[in-house]
Structure 1
Amino acid sequence: MIVPSATSKDAPMPAPSPSRRPVRILLVEDHDMVAEAICLALERSPDLQIVGRAASVASALADAQRCTPDVVLMDRRLPDGDGVAAIADLLALLPDARVLVLAGEGSGSVAVRVAQTGGAGLILKDRGLSELEDAVRRVAAGETVFSQELLGDVLGRLTGRVPGLGENLTPREREVLHLLGEGRTTAEISEQLGVALNTGRNHVQRVLEKLGARSQLEAVAIARREGILK
């Protein structure tokens, strides 16, 4: 079952009873501060246990054999390779493991690659730590979890249906597109949305990717041509 990652409207998956074995997690993250924050957050829950930490694809493959995790929580970008490309190698070593990819930013094409290579899902790093905890529990329980804005692309590809141009834009991305259509700059859009400039840039970049545009001006032109913008 493919589900979107938890939002404030979703009921999070309840933690297993204390009598059950904790979910064993191998964390693969090359930024120490990020790794420490994730470890502290996950290990607050008695049903989640960090059994190994790695900072590269090579060390992840070695540690996976040593600590036999239930879930591998893997950064997409690592010093010696692509975390998504490493999914197949991890599953060759541990066929029963579940690989959940963490990404600073994501696109539909990356999410589809995760699904096609046998990954259990992809969650964006800008989500809250409680949402990450819930995603780990869900993939350990056999579900497949993708951040909401990436889910349409994954479902479309897996069912053989390609979304129409702009159909997979999220409400926030449509808002960004409308602001671009008004001639707003990225800085002005970020201020209007009440988000950091880098977050605003990420929103704009996702709009461009989903419309197949190389510039903000081209994105607006495509949106008007396709009737997305009036």
Structure 2
Amino acid sequence: MPQSPSSSSRPAAAAAGRIRIVLVEDHDMVAEAIRMALDRTAHLEVVGRSASLAAALADVTRLRPDVVLLDRRLPDGDGIDAIAGLRAAAPDCRVLVLAGEGSASDATRVAAAGGAGLILKADNLGELRDAVRRVAAGEVAFSKGLLGAVLDRLTGRTPERGATLTPRERETLALLGEGLGSAEISRRLGVALNTTRNHIQRVLEKLGARSQLEAVTTARREGLLR
């Protein structure tokens, strides 16, 4: 596993014993579920829970945790934007972002800010626990499909266009290539219309396209569609 540029001697020491975690999550039920899952795991302990970025900064300064598990969306801002400030308050802590959804650009922003990883809420709790252990040990932890984008950034390599499309986004792109509209794609995929629109928007962003037609044209040129 690649080492994060922000790793230090403290995480390695933390990995050998108890890993102290500050959880930053504004939804009570989600926070409680995560807390229970972590506290029931050997060597993991949630020592504080914050519901906002302002509270998180105060808690991290006071508690000096090994890992900050930081929600991406909070009432007073974007968690990624807060990474630098949290690490300035406690330089030895490792920040692991937890997001409802994440893109390659989100992952590279986390890495650029000094974060140790980005895990999706759709991942299972076992993956979350493993990610906490890895970042505490000085490693990085990104959900499947996101680590490659971070490595591309760190090495200066330009990824192939469309390389970061998820399987569902590729399905959506294929249906766009068939000339289907959002409503028909929703029916074919068995998902809500708003979900389909989100998939389409992410496909456009990842292909650098301004319209669905441009996305299909680009995909055909790049060999993503036949």
TM > 0.5 = yes
RMSD over equivalenced CA pairs, Å: 2.2
TM-score relative to the length of structure 2: 0.85
TM-score relative to the length of structure 1: 0.83
What is the SS of the residue equivalent to 1:63?
helix
Contact 2:104/2:164 (8 A) holds in 1: no
Shift >6 Å, 4+ stretches = none
What is the SS of the residue equivalent to 2:47?
strand
Contact 1:2/1:145 (8 A) holds in 2: no
Q: CA deviation at 1:152?
A: 2.3
Determine the structure 2 residue equivalent to 1:108.
104
1:54 equivalent to 2:46? Answer no
1:176 equivalent to 2:172? Answer yes
Q: CA deviation at 1:125?
A: 1.3
Tell me which moved more, 85-94 or 181-190: 181-190
Q: CA deviation at 1:176?
A: 2.4
Amino acid in structure 2 at the alignment position of 1:37: A
Q: Which has the higher helix share?
A: 2
What does the per-residue CA deviation read over 1:148-171, in whole Å, with 9 as the maximum and x for residues that have no partner? 222222111110011122233344
Contact 1:105/1:202 (8 A) holds in 2: no
Q: CA deviation at 1:183?
A: 2.8
Determine the structure 2 residue equivalent to 1:228.
224
1:148 equivalent to 2:169? Answer no
Paired residue total: 214
Residues 201, 26 of structure 1: alpha-carbon distance in 2 compared, 3 angstrom cutoff: farther
Residues 37, 188 of structure 1: alpha-carbon distance in 2 compared, 3 angstrom cutoff: farther
What does the per-residue CA deviation read over 1:175-222, in whole Å, with 9 as the maximum and x for residues that have no partner? 321122123344544554455666544433332221012333332122
Amino acid in structure 2 at the alignment position of 1:122: L
What is the SS of the residue equivalent to 1:149?
coil
Determine the structure 2 residue equivalent to 1:166.
162
Contact 2:83/2:113 (8 A) holds in 1: yes
Measured in 2, the distance between the counterparts of 1:197 and 1:142 equals 41
- Of 5, 12, 19, the match for 1:23: 19
What is the SS of the residue equivalent to 1:148?
coil
* Equivalences for residues 4-153 of structure 1 within 5 A: 21-153=17-149
Unaligned runs of 5+ in 1: 4-19
Amino acid in structure 2 at the alignment position of 1:228: L
What does the per-residue CA deviation read over 1:83-126, in whole Å, with 9 as the maximum and x for residues that have no partner? 11111111112111110001112111111111011100001111
What does the per-residue CA deviation read over 1:56-93, in whole Å, with 9 as the maximum and x for residues that have no partner? 11110100022211100001121112211111111112
Measured in 2, the distance between the counterparts of 1:190 and 1:43 equals 39
What does the per-residue CA deviation read over 1:28-57, in whole Å, with 9 as the maximum and x for residues that have no partner? 111222212211221221321110000111
Measured in 2, the distance between the counterparts of 1:135 and 1:195 equals 29
Identity of aligned residues (%): 70
Residues 185, 125 of structure 1: alpha-carbon distance in 2 compared, 3 angstrom cutoff: farther
* Equivalences for residues 180-195 of structure 1 within 5 A: 180-193=176-189
What is the SS of the residue equivalent to 1:102?
strand
